[in-house]
Amino acid sequence: MRRIYRGKTKDVYEDGPYLVFHFKDSILGEDGREDTGGNEVIGERRGKGSAVLDETEFFFRLLERNGIRTHFVERIDKRRARFLKAEKIPLEVIYRELAYGSFLRRYNGWVKELTPLGIVEFTLKDDALKDPLITEEAIVRLGIASEGEVMEMKEKTRIVAEILREFFCSKGLQLVDFKLEFGRRNGKLIVIDELSGDTMRIMRDGKLLSQEKLREVIV
C-alpha cells in the first residue's frame, strides 16, 4: 500500500480500488485544551484511534441502514478500515442543533448557550486558512460544488441529523452538533471521512459526553 495522506488524526493509504484509513491516538484541541473542533494535535490517548473507528463504523452503518450512502466498506483491525475511493469536496458541512462552541464565540452576545438552532453551515476545509466559513454562493462561484450539490449536501445533512437525533434520544442523550464531509462517486454524492466523537458533540444532562462515554453508548 502507498501512503497518500498524513493527517493529524489518521493516515490514508491507497489499496487498489480502495483507501485504507489508519486512525491515530491523537487528541485535538486549541491553545493546549482538548476540543473536538480544534485544529491542533495536543497529545495522545491510548485507544483513541480504535474508539474513533468503532464509532465511525457504527454510525456509517446506521446511516446506510437509513438510506444515506457512505464510503465505508469494512474493518480490517482495531485501527484500520477500508473505504471506497471518492472525489473529495473540500468542505465541512456542519449541522448545529444547539448553539455551542465556536458558534457561541462567533456570535458572542447575540445567542445564549444551547439555544435551539437547527441550521447547516459550510466551512472551507483548509488548515492554512483555519477552515473559514464560506457562503453557499461563494461555494458555487469558486467552482467547489454546483448549486444542486450544495442543496443536496444540506438536505442529506438534515436527514443525518434526524437519524442521529432519533438514535441519541432513544439513549436519553442530546445531539448538539456534528460535521460531515462529502465526496463524488460515479456522479453521486456520498458521505465520506468519519463520523465519531471527533466530529460530533453529544450531551447527557447538560454535560458533554467524553469519547469513552460515547463509545459505551454504541457497544
Over residues 21-35, mean pLDDT: 81
- Per residue in 118-146, pLDDT (tens digit) is 999 999 999 899 999 999 999 999 999 99
What is the reported pLDDT for 92?
98
pLDDT higher than 70, residue 36: no
What is the reported pLDDT for 219?
78
Domains annotated for the chain, with CATH where assigned, are: 2-84 (3.30.200.20), 87-213 (3.30.470.20)
pLDDT higher than 90, residue 183: yes
Estimate the share of the chain in helix, then strand, then coil, as percent rounded to the nearest 5.
30, 40, 35
**CA of 25: how far to CAs of 53, 197, 210, in Å?**
11, 13, 15
What is the reported pLDDT for 8?
85
What's the rounded Cα separation, in Å, for the pair 133 and 96?
14
- Per residue in 190-211, pLDDT (tens digit) is 999 999 999 999 999 999 999 8
- Per residue in 51-109, pLDDT (tens digit) is 999 999 999 999 999 999 999 999 999 999 999 999 999 999 999 999 999 999 999 99
What is the reported pLDDT for 31?
67
